[in-house]
Protein backbone atom coordinates (compact mmCIF):
# COMPACT_ATOMS: atom_id res chain seq x y z
CA UNK A 1 0.00 0.00 0.00
CA UNK A 2 1.34 3.46 -0.93
CA UNK A 3 0.55 6.22 1.55
CA UNK A 4 0.40 9.87 0.45
CA UNK A 5 2.53 12.61 2.00
CA UNK A 6 5.36 10.31 3.08
CA UNK A 7 7.73 13.25 3.68
CA UNK A 8 5.32 14.53 6.36
CA UNK A 9 5.57 11.26 8.26
CA UNK A 10 9.34 11.22 7.89
CA UNK A 11 9.50 14.45 9.87
CA UNK A 12 7.32 13.14 12.70
CA UNK A 13 7.78 10.59 15.45
CA UNK A 14 5.21 7.82 15.68
CA UNK A 15 3.77 7.26 19.14
CA UNK A 16 1.95 4.24 20.59
CA UNK A 17 0.50 3.92 24.08
CA UNK A 18 0.24 0.54 25.78
CA UNK A 19 -2.06 0.90 28.77
CA UNK A 20 -3.48 -1.72 31.11
CA UNK A 21 -3.25 -5.48 30.74
CA UNK A 22 -1.46 -6.77 27.66
CA UNK A 23 -3.88 -9.24 26.08
CA UNK A 24 -5.47 -10.04 22.72
CA UNK A 25 -7.02 -6.66 21.94
CA UNK A 26 -3.84 -4.78 22.85
CA UNK A 27 -1.70 -7.14 20.78
CA UNK A 28 -3.89 -6.68 17.71
CA UNK A 29 -3.93 -2.89 18.01
CA UNK A 30 -0.19 -2.56 18.55
CA UNK A 31 0.75 -4.96 15.75
CA UNK A 32 -1.50 -3.09 13.31
CA UNK A 33 0.03 0.23 14.36
CA UNK A 34 3.59 -1.11 13.97
CA UNK A 35 2.80 -2.29 10.45
CA UNK A 36 1.43 1.14 9.53
CA UNK A 37 4.48 2.85 11.02
CA UNK A 38 6.74 0.77 8.81
CA UNK A 39 4.62 1.44 5.70
CA UNK A 40 4.53 5.18 6.27
CA UNK A 41 8.28 5.23 6.93
CA UNK A 42 8.30 7.09 10.22
CA UNK A 43 11.92 7.57 11.29
CA UNK A 44 11.32 6.79 14.97
CA UNK A 45 8.78 5.41 17.42
CA UNK A 46 8.00 6.58 20.94
CA UNK A 47 6.52 3.63 22.83
CA UNK A 48 4.73 4.73 26.02
CA UNK A 49 4.17 1.79 28.38
CA UNK A 50 1.92 1.92 31.45
CA UNK A 51 1.08 -1.71 32.11
CA UNK A 52 1.35 -4.21 34.98
CA UNK A 53 1.85 -7.08 32.55
CA UNK A 54 -0.18 -9.51 30.52
CA UNK A 55 -0.27 -12.84 28.78
CA UNK A 56 2.92 -14.54 27.66
CA UNK A 57 2.11 -15.10 23.99
CA UNK A 58 0.76 -11.59 23.38
CA UNK A 59 3.75 -9.96 25.10
CA UNK A 60 6.14 -12.05 23.04
CA UNK A 61 4.42 -11.21 19.76
CA UNK A 62 4.58 -7.47 20.45
CA UNK A 63 8.23 -7.79 21.46
CA UNK A 64 9.09 -9.69 18.27
CA UNK A 65 7.34 -7.11 16.09
CA UNK A 66 9.19 -4.28 17.84
CA UNK A 67 12.53 -6.00 17.33
CA UNK A 68 11.79 -6.42 13.63
CA UNK A 69 10.74 -2.77 13.25
CA UNK A 70 13.78 -1.70 15.25
CA UNK A 71 16.00 -2.96 12.44
CA UNK A 72 14.65 -0.13 10.29
CA UNK A 73 13.84 2.74 12.67
CA UNK A 74 14.78 4.00 16.13
CA UNK A 75 12.51 2.97 19.00
CA UNK A 76 12.54 4.67 22.40
CA UNK A 77 10.37 3.27 25.19
CA UNK A 78 9.04 5.46 27.97
CA UNK A 79 8.08 3.62 31.17
CA UNK A 80 5.21 5.42 32.88
CA UNK A 81 3.67 4.94 36.30
CA UNK A 82 3.82 1.14 36.00
CA UNK A 83 5.82 -0.89 33.52
CA UNK A 84 6.21 -4.31 35.06
CA UNK A 85 6.45 -7.94 34.00
CA UNK A 86 4.89 -8.13 30.51
CA UNK A 87 5.35 -4.36 30.31
CA UNK A 88 9.08 -4.91 30.78
CA UNK A 89 9.04 -7.72 28.21
CA UNK A 90 7.66 -5.57 25.40
CA UNK A 91 9.93 -2.73 26.47
CA UNK A 92 12.89 -4.96 25.64
CA UNK A 93 11.88 -4.54 22.00
CA UNK A 94 13.05 -0.92 22.14
CA UNK A 95 16.68 0.00 21.60
CA UNK A 96 16.51 2.73 24.23
CA UNK A 97 14.46 2.94 27.44
CA UNK A 98 13.62 5.91 29.65
CA UNK A 99 11.88 5.58 33.03
CA UNK A 100 10.71 8.01 35.66
CA UNK A 101 12.70 7.75 38.92
CA UNK A 102 9.57 6.49 40.67
CA UNK A 103 8.28 4.20 37.92
CA UNK A 104 7.22 0.81 39.31
CA UNK A 105 8.97 -1.75 37.16
CA UNK A 106 10.57 -5.17 37.38
CA UNK A 107 8.45 -8.17 38.39
CA UNK A 108 10.40 -10.22 35.88
CA UNK A 109 8.85 -13.65 36.09
CA UNK A 110 5.93 -15.86 35.16
CA UNK A 111 2.86 -16.85 37.14
CA UNK A 112 0.21 -19.49 36.57
CA UNK A 113 -2.81 -19.44 38.85
CA UNK A 114 -5.69 -21.75 39.55
CA UNK A 115 -8.40 -22.10 42.18
CA UNK A 116 -9.18 -25.14 44.30
CA UNK A 117 -12.84 -25.05 45.40
CA UNK A 118 -13.00 -28.71 46.38
CA UNK A 119 -13.86 -28.15 50.07
CA UNK A 120 -16.48 -25.53 49.24
CA UNK A 121 -18.12 -27.81 46.68
CA UNK A 122 -18.21 -30.64 49.20
CA UNK A 123 -20.07 -28.42 51.67
CA UNK A 124 -22.78 -27.60 49.16
CA UNK A 125 -22.96 -31.17 47.85
CA UNK A 126 -21.65 -30.52 44.36
CA UNK A 127 -19.31 -32.90 42.53
CA UNK A 128 -18.20 -33.35 38.93
CA UNK A 129 -17.95 -36.50 36.87
CA UNK A 130 -15.13 -36.18 34.37
CA UNK A 131 -14.45 -38.30 31.31
CA UNK A 132 -11.17 -37.36 29.65
CA UNK A 133 -8.86 -38.54 26.88
CA UNK A 134 -5.75 -38.40 29.03
CA UNK A 135 -4.69 -38.02 32.68
CA UNK A 136 -3.78 -34.35 32.32
CA UNK A 137 -6.65 -33.06 30.19
CA UNK A 138 -8.33 -31.42 33.21
CA UNK A 139 -5.15 -30.07 34.73
CA UNK A 140 -5.89 -27.06 36.98
CA UNK A 141 -9.50 -28.19 37.41
CA UNK A 142 -11.05 -26.12 40.21
CA UNK A 143 -12.80 -29.04 41.91
CA UNK A 144 -9.71 -30.92 43.06
CA UNK A 145 -6.13 -30.58 44.25
CA UNK A 146 -3.24 -30.83 41.79
CA UNK A 147 -1.46 -34.18 41.72
CA UNK A 148 2.32 -34.32 42.08
CA UNK A 149 2.84 -35.19 38.39
CA UNK A 150 0.65 -32.22 37.42
CA UNK A 151 2.65 -29.90 39.65
CA UNK A 152 5.82 -31.12 37.94
CA UNK A 153 4.37 -30.51 34.46
CA UNK A 154 3.22 -27.00 35.32
CA UNK A 155 6.49 -26.11 37.04
CA UNK A 156 8.37 -27.12 33.91
CA UNK A 157 6.05 -24.91 31.88
CA UNK A 158 6.75 -21.97 34.18
CA UNK A 159 10.50 -22.62 34.18
CA UNK A 160 10.69 -22.65 30.36
CA UNK A 161 8.71 -19.41 30.03
CA UNK A 162 10.79 -17.81 32.78
CA UNK A 163 14.02 -18.76 31.01
CA UNK A 164 12.68 -17.16 27.82
CA UNK A 165 11.97 -13.96 29.76
CA UNK A 166 15.42 -13.89 31.36
CA UNK A 167 17.14 -14.56 28.04
CA UNK A 168 15.18 -11.77 26.37
CA UNK A 169 16.16 -9.23 29.03
CA UNK A 170 19.78 -10.38 28.97
CA UNK A 171 20.07 -10.03 25.18
CA UNK A 172 18.20 -6.73 24.99
CA UNK A 173 20.13 -5.06 27.80
CA UNK A 174 23.51 -6.66 27.03
CA UNK A 175 23.68 -8.35 30.41
CA UNK A 176 24.68 -11.86 31.36
CA UNK A 177 21.94 -14.37 32.09
CA UNK A 178 23.35 -14.79 35.61
CA UNK A 179 23.14 -11.04 36.21
CA UNK A 180 19.52 -10.92 35.12
CA UNK A 181 18.60 -13.93 37.24
CA UNK A 182 20.02 -12.15 40.29
CA UNK A 183 17.18 -9.60 40.18
CA UNK A 184 14.59 -11.48 38.07
CA UNK A 185 12.95 -13.14 41.07
CA UNK A 186 9.60 -11.39 40.83
CA UNK A 187 10.65 -8.36 42.87
CA UNK A 188 9.60 -4.89 41.85
CA UNK A 189 11.91 -1.90 41.78
CA UNK A 190 11.83 1.79 40.95
CA UNK A 191 13.02 3.39 37.77
CA UNK A 192 16.07 4.65 39.64
CA UNK A 193 16.91 1.11 40.76
CA UNK A 194 16.25 -0.16 37.23
CA UNK A 195 18.86 2.29 35.94
CA UNK A 196 21.44 0.94 38.38
CA UNK A 197 20.60 -2.63 37.32
CA UNK A 198 20.94 -1.81 33.63
CA UNK A 199 17.28 -2.43 32.81
CA UNK A 200 16.78 1.15 31.54
CA UNK A 201 19.15 3.66 29.94
CA UNK A 202 18.06 6.99 31.39
CA UNK A 203 15.79 8.61 33.94
CA UNK A 204 13.29 11.09 32.58
CA UNK A 205 9.78 11.88 31.48
CA UNK A 206 7.95 10.94 28.33
CA UNK A 207 8.91 14.34 26.98
CA UNK A 208 12.57 13.51 27.58
CA UNK A 209 12.05 10.26 25.69
CA UNK A 210 10.42 12.11 22.79
CA UNK A 211 13.32 14.55 22.56
CA UNK A 212 15.82 11.70 22.63
CA UNK A 213 13.99 9.91 19.82
CA UNK A 214 14.09 13.09 17.72
CA UNK A 215 17.80 13.55 18.34
CA UNK A 216 18.56 9.95 17.40
CA UNK A 217 17.16 10.49 13.90
CA UNK A 218 18.53 13.99 13.36
CA UNK A 219 15.28 15.90 13.91
CA UNK A 220 14.91 19.11 15.89
CA UNK A 221 13.51 18.08 19.32
CA UNK A 222 11.96 21.51 19.78
CA UNK A 223 9.93 21.29 16.58
CA UNK A 224 9.33 17.57 16.00
CA UNK A 225 5.79 16.43 16.70
CA UNK A 226 4.39 13.02 17.53
CA UNK A 227 1.77 11.21 15.49
CA UNK A 228 -0.16 9.15 18.04
CA UNK A 229 -1.89 5.97 16.98
CA UNK A 230 -5.04 6.22 19.07
CA UNK A 231 -6.77 3.22 20.61
CA UNK A 232 -10.20 2.62 19.13
CA UNK A 233 -12.57 2.38 22.07
CA UNK A 234 -15.50 0.02 22.08
CA UNK A 235 -18.96 1.10 23.22
CA UNK A 236 -18.31 -0.49 26.62
CA UNK A 237 -14.98 1.30 26.98
CA UNK A 238 -16.51 4.65 26.05
CA UNK A 239 -19.27 4.09 28.60
CA UNK A 240 -16.69 3.31 31.28
CA UNK A 241 -14.16 5.95 30.27
CA UNK A 242 -14.90 7.97 33.37
CA UNK A 243 -13.97 5.08 35.64
CA UNK A 244 -10.52 3.72 34.72
CA UNK A 245 -10.43 1.30 37.63
CA UNK A 246 -13.70 -0.34 36.63
CA UNK A 247 -12.68 -0.37 32.98
CA UNK A 248 -9.34 -2.04 33.67
CA UNK A 249 -11.04 -4.56 35.94
CA UNK A 250 -13.57 -5.54 33.28
CA UNK A 251 -10.99 -5.79 30.48
CA UNK A 252 -8.62 -7.89 32.55
CA UNK A 253 -11.37 -10.21 33.79
CA UNK A 254 -12.55 -10.76 30.23
CA UNK A 255 -9.05 -11.55 28.98
CA UNK A 256 -8.18 -13.82 31.90
CA UNK A 257 -11.09 -16.14 31.23
CA UNK A 258 -9.09 -17.78 28.43
CA UNK A 259 -5.50 -16.76 29.20
CA UNK A 260 -3.92 -18.10 32.36
CA UNK A 261 -0.17 -18.16 31.85
CA UNK A 262 0.81 -14.60 32.51
CA UNK A 263 3.59 -12.09 32.88
CA UNK A 264 1.79 -10.24 35.65
CA UNK A 265 2.61 -8.35 38.82
CA UNK A 266 0.68 -8.99 42.02
CA UNK A 267 0.71 -6.99 45.24
CA UNK A 268 -0.33 -8.79 48.42
CA UNK A 269 -2.40 -11.15 46.31
CA UNK A 270 -4.11 -8.26 44.51
CA UNK A 271 -3.29 -7.87 40.81
CA UNK A 272 -1.72 -4.48 40.19
CA UNK A 273 -4.44 -3.47 37.76
CA UNK A 274 -6.69 -3.25 40.85
CA UNK A 275 -4.00 -1.69 43.00
CA UNK A 276 -3.71 2.05 43.51
CA UNK A 277 -0.79 3.16 45.71
- The CATH number of residue 268's host domain is 3.90.226.10
**Stretch 130-154: mean pLDDT, rounded?**
92
Of the candidates 149, 121, 120, which has an alpha carbon nearest to the alpha carbon of residue 134? 149
User: Does residue 22 form part of some domain?
Assistant: yes
Q: Determine the pLDDT at residue 134.
A: 93
User: Does residue 176 form part of some domain?
Assistant: no
Mean of all residue pLDDT scores within the chain: 85
Catalytic residue among 83, 85, 107, 255: 85
Q: Determine the pLDDT at residue 236.
A: 54
In this predicted structure, the answer to whether residue 271 has a pLDDT above a threshold of 60 is no
- Count of structural domains within the chain: 1
CB 263 within 8 A of CB 86: yes
User: Does residue 100 form part of some domain?
Assistant: yes
**Stretch 84-102: mean pLDDT, rounded?**
96
User: Does residue 168 form part of some domain?
Assistant: no
pTM: 0.82
**Stretch 9-36: mean pLDDT, rounded?**
92
Give the number of other CB atoms < 10 A from CB of residue 85: 29
Q: What is the CA radius of gyration of the chain?
A: 21
Query: Which domain does 193 fall in, by range?
Result: 6-107+186-274
Q: Determine the pLDDT at residue 233.
A: 61
CB 229 within 8 A of CB 19: no
Question: What percent of the chain is predicted at pLDDT more than 70?
Answer: 80
Helix (H, G, I), strand (E, B) or coil at 253: helix
In this predicted structure, the answer to whether residue 133 has a pLDDT above a threshold of 50 is yes
User: Does residue 79 form part of some domain?
Assistant: yes
CA angle 81, 111, 51 (to 5 degrees): 20
**Stretch 142-171: mean pLDDT, rounded?**
94
Q: Determine the pLDDT at residue 231.
A: 72
What residues contact 159, with CB distance under 8 A and at least 6 apart? none
The reply to whether 129 belongs to the active site is no
CA separation (Å) from 132 to 129, 157, 192? 10, 21, 51
User: Does residue 205 form part of some domain?
Assistant: yes
For the stretch 205-223, pLDDT in tens is 999 999 999 999 999 999 9
**Which range, of 4-8, 16-20, 95-99, averages the lowest pLDDT?**
4-8
For the stretch 52-80, pLDDT in tens is 998 889 999 999 999 999 999 999 999 99
In this predicted structure, the answer to whether residue 238 has a pLDDT above a threshold of 70 is no
**Stretch 165-187: mean pLDDT, rounded?**
97
The reply to whether 137 belongs to the active site is yes
User: Does residue 149 form part of some domain?
Assistant: no
User: Does residue 152 form part of some domain?
Assistant: no
Catalytic residue among 41, 68, 72, 137: 137
Amino acid sequence: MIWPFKPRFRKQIARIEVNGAIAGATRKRVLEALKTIEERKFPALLLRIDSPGGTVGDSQEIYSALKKLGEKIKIVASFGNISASGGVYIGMGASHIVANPGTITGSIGVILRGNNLERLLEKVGVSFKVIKSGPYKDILAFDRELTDPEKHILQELIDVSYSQFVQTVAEARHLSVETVRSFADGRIFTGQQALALGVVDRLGTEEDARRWAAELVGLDPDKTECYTFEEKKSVVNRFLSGNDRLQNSLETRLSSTTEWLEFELSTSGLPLWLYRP
